[in-house]
């Protein structure tokens, strides 16, 4: 097994620790028995994944930062109102006239840095309905989904690239649809008009913070692999939002005229390539939001930046089980970034301040059926204090689904050191005395068979009894 240089990379918001489950009842309470279990586990690991390179390490996390808005306490307000969850939107279609498309042609040239034409933004709900409509799709090989986040309600997918989207040259009768590769609305062939789906959301609670983002894959094949459950690093999405300045409010864009009277419009340009070398042309997707009133945009003034790791853990209940989902926990460093603007009306910030916030841990899954105590830095978390120890939580047991955004528990931790990976688990054996047979599992040393691995917070964990793939540990 060769040491892997780059694995399980991702962008987005957290770290997890996976704790292998599957009715692991046979822990031993003597040192000799414990050593035998360890030896069996190591032998089975080598049998499954091959000989371990003495220099193999088990920390694959890249500590890529993710961004979110500060909590406003909205969750308490929404659960008392009508918006306990996102309802499905009302679906319709809308024609977009050529003047709206022509603005994009003329003002957002492909391959040009168009950042000065707009500003990074957030929004707030008004208590009234609002409608989202994709109006332009550029030519690019990247594949993406458009998502929305609303404080207190969470995340909602709106639209997938090209879905039910049609365009045609003005004066012709045949509609075209974007292909799944680099096809889009090719320049020089217009002027175009568009027939696009519209999605109307009715969020009754006003003044909730909200923002949009893209989940981006480098091509359609990686998207399909991800949708089919792939955990490979190349198949994981990156994230593009206005919070990290990859979407802009195009304040001078031409607005459609065929809207119901009294409606206001915001038009948003999106960049899908957020890696080094991005052209920042913001024409990969252009969509609009309209309403009466439209959710107002606001310049980004504060964001929360998180960098962390997801720890996935095996509890040795079975020595031939390598799903690494007995505990999945994200551990993150956090800081609040405040952007300073030169005036009340300025849209570009000139400096920023940073405030360190307490470290957080988010338990994502707990598949083990044995009680355990998780130690992160100087902080302990015991399963029995929060759940029945035999519960298998969020690991897809018995054909269930995994909620990748679930927070089984979130708590502050202290003195976690991402360089030292000072995370461990004490697993308690079964029998008349549950204190007997305690085993402490620590982050593995170089060349050891791992019972804990660290990955990016965007890497999904496996279902019960689905072993992590060989490629996680080798080239």
Q: What is the pTM of this model?
A: 0.78
Coil, strand or helix: which one is 48?
A: helix
- The predicted-structure confidence for 155-164, as pLDDT tens digits, reads as follows 899 999 999 9
Average pLDDT over residues 448-454: 95
Average pLDDT over residues 339-350: 85
- The predicted-structure confidence for 217-247, as pLDDT tens digits, reads as follows 999 999 998 888 777 778 888 889 988 889 9
Sign of the C-alpha dihedral computed for residues 103, 105, 106 and 112 taken in this order: positive
- The predicted-structure confidence for 365-381, as pLDDT tens digits, reads as follows 998 788 899 999 999 99
Backbone angles phi, psi at 227, to 5 degrees: -65, -25
Q: Which of the four pLDDT bands, split at 50, 70 and 90, describes residue 445?
A: very high
| Cα distance between residue 204 and residue 85, in whole Å | 11
The per-residue pLDDT of the chain, averaged, comes to 85
Q: Which range has the top average pLDDT, 47-51, 331-335, 458-462?
A: 331-335
Task: Using alpha carbons, select from 61, 11, 16, 65 the residue that is nearest to residue 304.
Answer: 65
Average pLDDT over residues 165-192: 81
- The predicted-structure confidence for 34-91, as pLDDT tens digits, reads as follows 677 788 889 999 999 999 999 999 999 989 888 888 876 655 555 544 555 678 899 9
Q: Is the pLDDT of residue 432 over 50?
A: no
Name residues whose C-beta falls within 8 Å of residue 388's C-beta, 6 or more positions apart in sequence.
none
Name residues whose C-beta falls within 8 Å of residue 445's C-beta, 6 or more positions apart in sequence.
none
Q: Is the pLDDT of residue 336 over 70?
A: yes
User: What pLDDT score was predicted for residue 198?
Assistant: 97
- The predicted-structure confidence for 269-316, as pLDDT tens digits, reads as follows 999 887 767 888 999 999 999 999 999 998 899 999 999 999 999 876
Which pair of structure tokens corresponds to residue 44?
């089975």
Peptide bond into 191 cis (omega under 30): yes
- The predicted-structure confidence for 89-128, as pLDDT tens digits, reads as follows 999 999 999 999 999 989 998 889 998 898 889 999 999 9
């Amino acid at each position: 097994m060769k040491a892997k240089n780059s694995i399980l990379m991702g962008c987005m918001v957290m770290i997890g620790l996976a704790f292998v489950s599957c009715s692991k009842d046979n822990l031993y309470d003597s040192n000799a028995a414990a050593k035998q279990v360890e030896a069996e586990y190591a032998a089975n690991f080598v049998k499954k994944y091959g000989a371990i390179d003495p220099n193999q390490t088990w920390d694959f996390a890249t500590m890529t930062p993710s961004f979110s808005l500060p909590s406003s306490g909205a969750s308490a307000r929404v659960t008392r109102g009508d918006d306990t969850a996102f309802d499905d939107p009302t679906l319709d279609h809308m024609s977009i006239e050529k003047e709206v498309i022509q603005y994009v042609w003329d003002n957002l040239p492909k391959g040009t840095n168009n950042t000065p034409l707009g500003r990074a933004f957030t929004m707030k709900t008004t208590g009234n309905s609002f409608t989202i409509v994709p109006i332009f799709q550029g030519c690019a090989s990247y594949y993406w989904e458009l998502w929305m986040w609303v404080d207190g309600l969470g995340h909602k997918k709106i639209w997938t690239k090209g879905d039910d989207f049609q365009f045609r040259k003005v004066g012709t009768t045949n509609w075209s649809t974007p292909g799944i590769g680099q096809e889009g609305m090719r320049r020089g062939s217009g002027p175009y008009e568009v027939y696009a789906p519209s999605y109307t959301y009715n969020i009754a609670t006003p003044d909730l913070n909200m923002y949009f983002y893209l989940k981006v894959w480098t091509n359609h094949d990686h998207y399909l692999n991800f949708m089919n459950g792939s955990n490979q690093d190349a198949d994981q999405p990156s994230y593009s939002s206005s919070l990290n300045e990859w979407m802009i409010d195009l304040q001078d864009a031409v607005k459609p005229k065929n809207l119901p009277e009294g409606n206001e419009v915001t038009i948003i340009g999106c960049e899908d390539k957020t890696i080094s070398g991005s052209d920042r042309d913001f024409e990969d997707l252009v969509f609009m939001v309209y309403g009466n009133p439209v959710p107002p945009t606001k310049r980004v003034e504060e964001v929360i930046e998180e960098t962390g790791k997801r720890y996935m853990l095996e509890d040795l209940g079975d020595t031939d089980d390598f799903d690494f989902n007995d505990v999945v926990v994200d551990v993150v460093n956090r800081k609040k970034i405040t952007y300073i603007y030169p005036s009340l009306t300025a849209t570009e910030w000139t400096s920023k301040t940073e405030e360190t916030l307490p470290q957080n841990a988010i338990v994502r899954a707990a598949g083990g059926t044995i009680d355990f105590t998780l130690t992160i830095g100087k902080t302990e978390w015991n399963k029995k204090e929060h759940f029945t120890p035999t519960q298998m939580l969020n690991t897809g047991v018995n054909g269930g689904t995994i909620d990748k955004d679930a927070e089984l528990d979130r708590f502050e931790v202290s003195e976690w050191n991402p360089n030292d990976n000072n995370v461990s688990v004490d697993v308690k054996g079964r029998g008349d005395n549950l204190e007997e047979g305690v085993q402490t599992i620590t982050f593995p040393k170089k060349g050891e068979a791992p019972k804990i691995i660290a990955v990016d917070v965007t890497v999904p964990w496996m279902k019960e009894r689905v072993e992590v793939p060989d490629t996680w540990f080798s080239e």
